Structure 1
């Protein structure tokens, strides 16, 4: 593989790995703050135990997220320094806000929350939990604002061959970002919900034949996860529709490739599934099962509008951005070669369906959990906890597939042209890579992938340890000189 392919593989591996931790941290931090709120307001012991147990798992995941996330910003300088020089005047601002504002707030209030048990007044301690959880959302906001600028550049002038920011407000209120943020947060709640359902179902099953003083903790957690999962999927559907309509306007090639729509259609059908090789642009060998006119509705909210196919869009892109890469030695083997404006169709087509399908499976397990625990019931069949444990993976897979689709669907651009933006504010991925040797990138790729594999083992070990330990594993033995409620207090 050449340097460009290696750099893309490295960024993809490290980013997808890091994003496994991010949605669980975001969703679980808000849910843990809600559990603590319920405890402070009602005084019910089960909410206290829920806060302690799920809070411990949140801390493990957050720590791993911080460690794996450190590489992400450094990678721009390591493998993508040409990109960094091109977008630095714009991209640096939201990243700095994420680091200096959101992350510092997260760390500060998380520290107060960890060490504030028995030291801070209850409501002050609760405020720290909410400050931390809201800071995680703010952190996601700034990162998504930066990513959305790559997808839809706004708020800039083009000066001396580089975009220069003229409005931070335009960058932060980019309509692409405003659509991506609620969709991403809904996905985070879906991940946290599945995690609650899976772990709680396993604990209920493990002690099904004996007395379990914490059964109400697991049942309440199970139902909370079920409700959150169902609501999150509904939010994903609504926000995803909004995001899709924007993509049809801003990145029509991405959405055409999501449908493997090779030829323009009016009205356009939505493909449920395809049989055959969708990467063949003539589509002659592909058999699809379609819903008539649905794609036109998803694109433009009516059942009649034309949706352009890949072949027509390629012609438009060639006319506007050229048929060949510049004859620049910095582009290596691609210098002067034809530009392939078509994304990897199998990845975009199936990634889009994996995203939707696994999200729906996760919501379905949530509905099942609510049904099996209705009217005080506790699930007593062995298949449900197994299904729930497997279900933990479904929103993770859906989230990852969604991001792979989002990033690979914009190729060959690393900064996508804004159809109504400033001319020149776009960049091919091939132009963005650093001038490194393949051996240098191989070295960092192997080193980082190996490090992440070790961290993965550590994450699984710690999560498994505290999950198996249950509530008892996060609460100290009672002290004789304190009341029952106070004896439950514990500093992480």
Structure 2
């Protein structure tokens, strides 16, 4: 394997591992902030206990996310120096804004929140977690703007042999970034909802802390249901954006080889990438792909064969990632709708609770599949239509990358094992005891 492939594998491994922790940070910060706000408003001690319980999981998750995120940025200098040299004027400025405007705010106030339980008033403490939540999601805004520029580059000029920033407003208002932010945040909040519901289901099945985890479950259910609906609706809109910005990705998502008017969408397809066709196409919905891509059943959709082979992304991986993401997204909507009707009789629905417990990994899989689709589907471009991935890699020996890749795998495996052990142990342990007055009132 050459340095290019190894560098891609290393960046992919680091990104996928990092993104195991990012969505829960984004969503859980908001959910905890809502819990603290409800405590301030109602004085119900359960909400304070909920914020403390879920807050400990949040802190573990946040710490690992920060550590793994820093190593990603280093790779732009070590493995992707040519990329950094060519587009650093644009990409670097966005990452700098993220660090100074969001990450520092987040890191500062998360310390104040973690250490301020008995030092700040309830209102002041709630404000600190809201600042953490806002900063976390603001950080995601700038990261996604940077990534969206790679997907649909705007506001730049080629000058002095590199891409230079020409229109900052065009970059930050990139329509691709708006769609990507809504979709990514929706996925993060769905993941958070399912995580909290799954842990709550574990305790409800064992009839432990039923009032506490019943409230947690219902709050998480509301979040997951709302954003499952948003994700499905916005996913259709995102299809049109991909069609206009990256038509090769759209064709690969559907394993669509021949240009056609009124292009159908198939319920079952088995790609044959080697022979540039499909082994199986079953369940055609006439005009559905044209409608998804261009909002008209009569529109013409360009097939993969109309693009040079060297400009096509890996079809099978893009196709499968898309199907996993969409299939799980529909499942999340179905499960949250069922949960909505069972929300007031959860303890009488053990089968549903078991499903939700075992569903905890599914949003993680969906998120990773979504990022696989976004990044693999953009290939062979690191910046779509501007710079090829093969031109972005550093001029280093494959042996050097092999060593660092092996080190990443070992260290990240240890970090992941430690993080998931700590999260699982705390989740199983349950919340701190309720104040005596609360216990007596409920008994």
How many angstroms apart in 2 are the aligned matches of 1:378 and 1:233?
20
Q: How does 1:77-96 map to 2 (within 5 A)?
A: 77-96=77-96
TM-score where L is the length of structure 2:
0.95
Select which of 207, 215, 235 maps to 2:210. Answer: 215
**Aligned residue in 2 for 1:300:** 294
Q: 1:290 deviation in Å?
A: 2.4
Q: 1:380 deviation in Å?
A: 4.0
Q: Which runs of 5+ in 1 are unaligned?
A: 315-338, 418-425, 486-492
**Aligned residue in 2 for 1:470:** 430
1:20 match: secondary structure = coil
**Aligned residue in 1 for 2:18:** 18
2:283 match: secondary structure = strand
**Aligned residue in 1 for 2:35:** 35
Number of residue pairs aligned between Structure 1 and Structure 2: 438
2:73 match: secondary structure = helix
1:359 aligns with 2:329: yes
How many angstroms apart in 2 are the aligned matches of 1:6 and 1:271?
35
**Aligned residue in 1 for 2:138:** 138
Given that 2:266 and 2:281 are in contact with CA atoms closer than 8 Å, whether structure 1 keeps it comes out as no
Q: 1:368 deviation in Å?
A: 2.9
Report which of the two structures shows the higher radius of gyration computed on alpha carbons: 1
**Aligned residue in 1 for 2:441:** none
Q: 1:124 deviation in Å?
A: 1.5
2:202 match: secondary structure = helix
How many angstroms apart in 2 are the aligned matches of 1:278 and 1:206?
48
How many angstroms apart in 2 are the aligned matches of 1:447 and 1:37?
43
Given that 2:268 and 2:280 are in contact with CA atoms closer than 8 Å, whether structure 1 keeps it comes out as no
Q: 1:25 deviation in Å?
A: 0.5
**Aligned residue in 1 for 2:205:** 205
1:459 aligns with 2:392: no
**Aligned residue in 1 for 2:49:** 49
1:371 aligns with 2:341: yes
How many angstroms apart in 2 are the aligned matches of 1:52 and 1:462?
16
1:396 aligns with 2:390: no
Q: 1:281 deviation in Å?
A: 4.9
**Aligned residue in 2 for 1:387:** 355
TM-score where L is the length of structure 1:
0.86
1:227 match: secondary structure = helix
1:148-193 CA deviation, whole Å, 9 max, x = no partner?
Answer: 1111111111102211102222211111111111111111100000
How many angstroms apart in 2 are the aligned matches of 1:178 and 1:351?
22
Range with bigger deviation, 293-302 or 266-275 = 266-275
How many angstroms apart in 2 are the aligned matches of 1:75 and 1:286?
41
How many angstroms apart in 2 are the aligned matches of 1:105 and 1:217?
31
Select which of 412, 423, 434 maps to 2:394. Answer: 434
Q: 1:278 deviation in Å?
A: 3.3
**Aligned residue in 2 for 1:346:** 316
How many angstroms apart in 2 are the aligned matches of 1:150 and 1:30?
28
Q: CA RMSD for the aligned pairs? A: 1.7
1:463 match: secondary structure = helix
Range with bigger deviation, 114-123 or 102-111 = 114-123
